[in-house]
Amino acid sequence: MALDKPYKDVPGTIIFDAEQSRKGYWLNQFCMSLMKAANRERFKADERAYLDEWPMTEEQKQAVLARDLNWCMRTGGNIYFLAKIGATDGKSFQQMAGSMTGMTEEEYRNMMISGGRSAEGNRYLGEDGDAQPHRQPQGSAGKKA
């Protein structure tokens, strides 16, 4: 019997459930290893070699090398684990979250200062809010496209 997953119709959102967690196990465990300063150093010295020590999929490794957090999430990453990569790179949570929207750092910061992203149009897939798939990427990245 199917599990109850009422959260599949929220735009721009991946809920980290048991299925995602299985998919992302090694990706997230790799991230966890970056909590040790010595591992951060080894990773920074040769990212590819460090990643190859982990039984991650090639796609997961590519997603990490590209620092594409949306891609990391699709392959099972969880933001609290992925944040360890950001920490290693000296990035804040705000820089990491912003990077997933297509906005520049300044655009995202300004959106937060003016009260954040509205829930209007962003509750269900198929509405017309700024987080909907047909309106990506956002900010100046979207305008250039």
* Minimum separation from the CB atom of position 15 to other proteins (A): 5
Measured between alpha carbons, how far is 64 from 79 in angstroms, rounded to an integer?
Answer: 13
Question: Applying CB under 8 A, which of residues 34, 51, 63, 64 lies at the interface with other proteins?
Answer: 34
* Residue 108 sits in the site that holds other proteins (CB under 8 A): yes
- Specify the residue, 61 or 103, whose C-beta has the smaller distance to other proteins: 103
* Residue 16 sits in the site that holds other proteins (CB under 8 A): yes
- Specify the residue, 62 or 79, whose C-beta has the smaller distance to other proteins: 79
* Minimum separation from the CB atom of position 53 to other proteins (A): 16
* Residue 75 sits in the site that holds other proteins (CB under 8 A): no
**Inter-residue long-range contacts of 100-109, CB under 8 Å, 24+ positions, other chains counted:** 100/69, 100/70, 100/73, 101/137, 101/138, 101/139, 102/136, 102/137, 102/138, 102/139, 102/141, 102/142, 103/137, 103/138, 103/139, 103/140, 103/141, 104/139, 104/140, 104/141, 107/138, 107/139, 107/140, 108/139
* Residue 63 sits in the site that holds other proteins (CB under 8 A): no
What is the binding site for other proteins (CB under 8 A)?
A: 6-7, 10-18, 21, 25, 28-29, 31-32, 34-37, 40, 69-70, 73, 78-81, 83-84, 86-88, 92-94, 96-98, 100-102, 108, 111-113, 115-119, 122-124, 131-133, 136-138
